A and B are shown apart, each in its own frame.
Chain A
Amino acid sequence: MRFQLLRSPSPSSSCCGYQIPFQPSNGVLLLRSSPMKIPKSHTKKKLSQSRRASEVLAYYGLTTPPYKLDALEPYMSKRTLELHWGEHHRHYVDSLNKQLTNSPLYGYTMEELIKVTYNNGNPIPEFNNAAQVWNHDFFWESMQPDGGNLPCGGLLQQIEKDFGSFSNFRDEFVHSAMTLFGSGWVWLILKTNERRLSVVRTSNAICPLVWGDIPIICLDMWEHAYYLDYKDDKRTYAINFIDHLVSWHAVTSRMMRAEAFVNLGEPKIPVA
């Protein structure tokens, strides 16, 4: 795991060195951009060598989507991605880093930070930025060029088991997207207690991690996500997402990981 010492935040860096590299082959999905505590000896050495001696701080980085910005055309335009990722997502990352300078909230992974700043329903100001950073990371990874169509195998079976049929799930997902009032997100989650998939909506920056369920897919319903391409036509946006953008490959990996935490069925123990 490589890392770089950052002297000061560089706004143009698209990838902070403090992260576990993305490994697409085994589908590691939760890119944990976590800051690392640097041992004191290293910092002292570097500081004494540098003229512009400044405190070494760790920052969360802006992760890049795993595809080019024009790869999701025509369902999501390059301009939307340039703005959505390059301005909005970047702004959340920069704001979060700014809020965390000289803050006791140091050394958390992003998920831990979200749960801590959510503060059991009374969120502190850092929550909005932290949760939005995570939500957007999750959103980019939920999509792929030439995505959509149908999931296959175990995932399809699970969806059919929990929703009746794939088109029921699709209808419910689109309906949730259309009836969400204000800004928010639509999620497919795996409920840890009920051990089934479910579609939920959340407002503003809330994400299912705060109440302990496992997110599987998310769709950004903030207007900045679709306004340039679809204006007020939320229905077409949601339908295009399900039909043409969602990355079932990523979803399958997430389900596999989730099954390590949630028992979805009787194990098949071979009888000798």
Chain B
Amino acid sequence: MLGFPSLCPTSLPSRQSRRRNNVRRRAPVAAALLELKPPPYPLDALEPHLSREAVEHHWGRHQRSHVDCLNAAIAGTQLEGMELEDMIWNHDFFWQSMKPGGGGEPSGRLMELIERDFGSYERMIKELKHAALTQFGSGWAWLAYKANRLEVGNAVNPCPSEKDNKLVVAKTPNAVNPLLWDYSPLLAIDVWEHAYYLDYENRRADYVSTFLDKLVSWEVVSSRLENAINRATERAKVDEKRRQDDDVEATSRKPVEMYLDSDNDDSETE
């Protein structure tokens, strides 16, 4: 897939390459077409929480129409194209966040970080549900890993530690994705009405509760967290090295030559 960030949700483009990719996409290029990836389980595997009909419509009609529209508009308007691409990415991410027989509680490093950053698992769930229920209009609720820093030269943390990176809950409208803010998404809940209307009608709260109790795949979330932590550590190392190189260069710079007026010159011109 030339010119597009990888659509596999487990490998996230770095913030700079994503921006570069956007720029590259603007030029009309013989790009490969996007494909509609199926969820990693059969369409009726999430019954009775999400009916086969709902999943079929959500994936087979909505997501398929996003893919078709995007393929048709690849050389067309960039703005719509980017929204559709985000929607496709978000949906792939969403399907992979679930599994038949999911639910339960997380464990391992994920649980440790949840308890560290939210106080308790129940508090995190409460915050996530609140975000999902208060997203006005269409959108998504996210659990994400935040490891970003200001891109300002002198915004240097004198004592960097792992504790500065933390889990956060976020909500976004329409097709917005927290990659935009340089977060690493770990879990997505689709709160567009089409995601739950066939099975739950207007009861978004029931849908979100069922999602968190019976559908979410904490293993996938944990593996995304590991990737996110590794990525953040790598980036920290790269930044540290760059800072050291800058320091070395600064100290090795030759003293600037300065041209000063001298008395001899003055007397000659006068």
Which residues from 205 to 247 on chain A have a C-beta closer than 8 Å to any C-beta of chain B? 205, 222-224, 227-228, 231-232
B194 proximal to A (CB < 8 A): yes
Complex contact B62–A232 (CB within 8 A): yes
B65 proximal to A (CB < 8 A): yes
A67 proximal to B (CB < 8 A): no
Where the two chains meet, the residues of A that have a C-beta atom closer than 8 Å to any C-beta of B are: 83, 87-88, 91, 128, 181-184, 203-205, 222-224, 227-228, 231-232
Complex contact A228–B197 (CB within 8 A): yes
Q: Residues 180-207 of chain B: 1 if any A CB is under 8 Å from the residue's CB, otherwise 0?
A: 0000000000001110011001100000
Where the two chains meet, the residues of B that have a C-beta atom closer than 8 Å to any C-beta of A are: 57, 61-62, 65, 80, 83, 136-139, 173-175, 192-194, 197-198, 201-202
7 of the cross-chain contacts (CB-CB < 8 Å) are A83-B201, A182-B138, A184-B137, A203-B137, A227-B198, A231-B194, A232-B194
Q: What's the least CB distance linking A72 to chain B, in Å?
A: 18
- Nearest B residue to A183 by beta-carbon distance? B137
Q: Contacts of B139 on A, CB cut-off 8 Å?
A: 182
- Contact A228 to B202, CB < 8 A, known contacts A181-B175, A182-B137, A183-B137: no
A228 to B57, CA, bound (A): 12
- Contact A182 to B61, CB < 8 A, known contacts A88-B202, A223-B192: no
Complex contact A224–B202 (CB within 8 A): yes
A249 to B221, CA, bound (A): 56
Complex contact B197–A227 (CB within 8 A): yes
Q: Contacts of A205 on B, CB cut-off 8 Å?
A: 136-137
Smallest CB-CB A-B distances: 8 pairs: A223-B193, A183-B137, A182-B174, A204-B137, A227-B197, A182-B138, A87-B202, A183-B138
Q: Contacts of A182 on B, CB cut-off 8 Å?
A: 137-139, 173-175
Q: Contacts of B193 on A, CB cut-off 8 Å?
A: 183, 222-224, 227
A/B pair count, beta carbons within 8 Å: 52
A228 to B197, CA, bound (A): 7
Complex contact A223–B197 (CB within 8 A): yes
Q: Contacts of B138 on A, CB cut-off 8 Å?
A: 182-183, 223
Complex contact A224–B136 (CB within 8 A): no
Q: Contacts of A83 on B, CB cut-off 8 Å?
A: 201-202
- Nearest A residue to B139 by beta-carbon distance? A182
Other A-B pairs beyond A182-B137, A222-B137, 5, CB < 8 Å: A83-B202, A224-B193, A228-B198, A228-B201, A232-B62
Complex contact A231–B61 (CB within 8 A): yes
A68 to B137, CA, bound (A): 27
Complex contact A223–B202 (CB within 8 A): no
Q: What's the least CB distance linking A259 to chain B, in Å?
A: 34
Complex contact B83–A181 (CB within 8 A): yes
Complex contact B65–A232 (CB within 8 A): yes
The answer, among B62, B136, B175, for a CB contact under 8 Å with A204, is: B136
Q: Contacts of B173 on A, CB cut-off 8 Å?
A: 182
A171 to B164, CA, bound (A): 54
Q: Contacts of B57 on A, CB cut-off 8 Å?
A: 231-232
Q: What's the least CB distance linking B193 to chain A, in Å?
A: 4
Q: What's the least CB distance linking A237 to chain B, in Å?
A: 13
A11 to B80, CA, bound (A): 42
- Nearest B residue to A129 by beta-carbon distance? B136
A232 to B175, CA, bound (A): 17
Q: What's the least CB distance linking A77 to chain B, in Å?
A: 12
A254 to B138, CA, bound (A): 31
A94 to B202, CA, bound (A): 15
Q: Contacts of B65 on A, CB cut-off 8 Å?
A: 232
Q: Contacts of A183 on B, CB cut-off 8 Å?
A: 137-138, 193
Q: What's the least CB distance linking B189 to chain A, in Å?
A: 16
Complex contact B202–A232 (CB within 8 A): no
Q: What's the least CB distance linking A90 to chain B, in Å?
A: 10
A184 to B174, CA, bound (A): 11
- Nearest B residue to A128 by beta-carbon distance? B136
